[in-house]
Amino acid sequence: MPITEERQAIQDLRDAGFSQRQAEVLAAKLEITAQATQQGLKDFIRQEFAQFRQEVKAELAQVRAEMNNRFAQTDVKFADMRTELHSSLRDQTLKLLAVLIAAISLAVAIIKIFPNAH
């Protein structure tokens, strides 16, 4: 407590009927109690903040793990889609090649059947 507040507290106590010595002792005890309460409050806040911080860290770790899990699942899905796309592309290429071979074979057969048609 600042000196001016301490003097005012002592004066108020004297006005209330306390002796000078009683007022000084009581003011000193009030100051010690106020400081102890302030320190206790600081310690309490520090502990609560530390606990809150730990809880937030735990929740953040859980969120990170979930995100990593979902990203891994997405990677697997994309890999599956890529595999399916390659397979489909291969199938389409084989079908196109078969159609091309059939068309060439048909053209060759027509030329053999009608050799003088051109």
Tens place of pLDDT per residue across the chain (118 aa): 566 677 888 888 888 898 888 888 888 888 888 888 888 999 999 999 999 999 999 999 999 999 999 999 999 999 999 999 999 999 999 999 999 999 999 999 998 898 876 5
In a domain? residue 74:
yes
In a domain, 22, yes or no: yes
DSSP, collapsed to helix, strand or coil, labels residue 111 as: helix
Q: How many domains does the chain have?
A: 1
Q: Report yes or no on whether pTM surpasses 0.95.
A: no
DSSP 70-84: HHHHHHHHHHHHHHH
In a domain, 115, yes or no: no
* Domain of residue 62, residue span: 3-82
* Structure token digits, residue 37: 């309460």
Does a structural domain hold residue 26? yes
Report if residue 35 sits inside a domain: yes
Q: What is the 3-state secondary structure (H, E, C) of 2-49?
A: CHHHHHHHHHHHHHCCCCHHHHHHHHHHHHHHHHHHHHHHHHHHHHHH
